[in-house]
Amino acid sequence: MTAPYTHLVPSVRSLRPSATLAINERSNALKDEGREVFKLGLGQSPFPVPETVRASLERHAGEKDYLPVRGLPALRHAIKEWHHRRDGIDAMDRHVIVGPGSKELLFILQLVHDSRLTIPSPSWVSYAPQAQILEKDVDWVETQFDNGWNLTAEALENVCKQDPTQPRLLILNYPNNPTGMSYSADALSAIARVARAYRVVIISDEIYGEVDHGHGHTSMAEFYPEGTIVSSGLSKWCGAGGWRLGYCIFPDALKPLADAMAAVASETFTSVSAPIQYAAVEAFLDTPSIQQYLHNSRRILGALGNWIGQRLTQAGLRVHTPQGGFYIFPDFEPLRKKLAKRGVYTSAALTEVILDETGVACLPGVCFGRRADELTVRLSFVDFDGTRALQYLGSISSSKSLSQDDIQRLCPPTVTAIQRLAEWCEALV
Ligand code: PLP
C-alpha cells in the first residue's frame, strides 16, 4: 500500500467550510437548476461602496509598495479619530492595527492570547471554529430569548467563578450577528464590572456598530477601557466586505497582545493591500456624503427589520425586532407540533424544508451554537438592490419615516421572501 500524501493536523480534520459560505453555494446551485431562490443566508451588505470611497480607490490604484505591518499611518489616524468622535474612545494612532478583514485579526488575537474563549450562545459562526483550529477550549454561555439572546453579567460571573484565575477572552458582538440585538449601557456596564473583577479580556466586535438602526450604539470601551479591544472594519457599514479591511483598537494595558499580533501579522499577511488602505482613509473622514449614506442605510435597514419583525410575529413566530445590522433570529418553537407532523425536529431540518418549499435560504440556529433540536434560524435581510434603494431615498426628505409601501417598493426580493415564509408558516396544519 502506498503512503498518503496528506497528513492533516488533528484540529482541522473535522472542519468544514464556513456555514454561511456553504449555504451561498447551495443557493447558487439551486438557482442554476432554474429554481427561484431568495438569498437570506449570507450576511453581506446590500449597499454599494460609497462613491467618494470608490473614487479614492481609483486615484490610488498605482500604490504598489508594501505598507507598515500595523497599517498606513494616515489610515490608523483616521480610524482613531472616527472612534474618538463617535464612541469617545481615547486612543492614539499607535493603538490601531489594520488587517485583511477583522476575521483574520480575531483569529490572530485568539492565537496570541493564552486563554479560554468565552462566547455567548448564539454567537457568530466563526469564533468557535477559529478556537478549534487553535485547539483552544471554548465556554459557551447560555442566553435566553427573554433577554434578547444577550449575555448577562450574572451568566458571565457564573462561568468565571468556576475557575477565577483562568485567563479568559470574551468576545461580545453587538449589534449582534445572528440576533440583530444590541446591549444597553446598563447591561454593558454590568458586564464590565464582572470582566474587571476576573481580569477578562474583552474583544468587543462592533462591526455592525455603524448600522445600529436607532443610532444609539455605545462602545464597550467606554465602560471597560483597560480590558477592551474594539474590533471593526469596512465590511458591514461601507458595503466593502470584499475589500478585506478590518482593524482592532487596543488599550495600553494590552500592548503585549498588540505587539504579539503585529509580530504574527509580519510573518503571515504582511500588510493589507496598499490601494485599499489609501482608499479607506476617505471612508473614515466623516464627510457629509458618508453621513448621508449611513443615515439612509440605517433608515432602510431599520424600517425593513421592523416590518419583518411584525410580519413574522403575525405568522406565529417568537421573534425580537432587530435593533441593528441586517439579521433577525426567529424561533419557530410555537409551531413545533405542526413541524413535528412534517418530520421536522431540528433547526437544520427546518432550514432545509424552508429552502425546498419556499426557496428561502437561511441558516439554522445550530450553526451559531444553539442546541440542534431548537427551532431557531437566522435570516439576513439583504436580498435587495441597495444601490437602487439608496438612490430612491436620496430623492425623498431625509426625515420622512419609511412606510410599508416604501419597503415593498425598495426591498424586493427580501419582502417577497418574508411573505412566502410567513404564508408557509400560516399554512402549516
Ligand atoms: N464579526 C462578525 C459578527 C461578522 O458578522 C463578520 C462577518 O460576517 C466578521 C466579524 C468578519 O468581518 P470581516 O472579516 O469582513 O471584517
- Dihedral sign from CA coordinates of 82, 83, 89, 94: negative
State if residue 87 touches ligand 1 by the CB under 6 angstroms criterion: no
Closest to 299 in 3D by CA, of 428, 374, 164, 397: 397
Residue in 149, 171, 207 to alter for ligand 1 test, most ligand atoms within 8 A of Cβ = 207
Ligand 1 contact, 309 CB (< 6 A): no
| Mutation choice for ligand 1 from 124, 208, 378, CB with most ligand atoms inside 8 A | 124
Distance 101 CA to ligand 1 centre (A): 7
Chain-centre distance for alpha carbon 45: 10
Q: Cell numbers at residue 48, please?
A: 454599494
Q: Report percent pLDDT > 90 for the chain.
A: 88
CATH 3.10.450.50 for the 51-285 domain, yes or no: no
* 315 CA distance to ligand 1 middle (Å): 30
**Could you give the residue range(s) of every CATH 3.90.1150.10 domain in the chain?**
4-48+289-427
Atom from ligand 1 closest to the CA of residue 105: 14
Q: Which CATH class is domain 4-48+289-427?
A: alpha beta
Numbered ranges of CATH 3.40.640.10 in the chain: 51-285
What is the tens place of the pLDDT at every residue in 347-396? Answer: 999 998 999 899 999 999 999 999 999 999 999 999 999 999 999 988 88
Mean pLDDT is lowest, of 16-30, 48-62, 161-175, 199-213, for 16-30
Cell numbers at 365, concatenated: 440556529
Taking the whole predicted model, whether its pTM rises above 0.85 is answered as yes
Across 244-269, average pLDDT: 98
Do 283 and 50 touch, CB atoms closer than 8 A? yes
| pLDDT at residue number 18 | 66
Least confident of 6-10, 144-148, 281-285: 6-10
126 Cβ closer than 6 Å to some ligand 1 atom: no
CA–CA separation, 322 and 326 (whole Å): 8
* DSSP output for 157-188: HHHHHHSTTS-EEEEEESS-TTT-----HHHH
Give the span between the Cα atoms of 426 and 335, in whole angstroms: 10
CB neighbour list of residue 200: distance below 8 Å, 6 or more residues apart: 118, 156, 160, 168, 169, 170, 194, 227
Pocket test for ligand 1, best of 49, 171, 236 (most atoms within 8 A of CB): 236
> From the CA of 339, how far away is ligand 1's center (Å)?
32
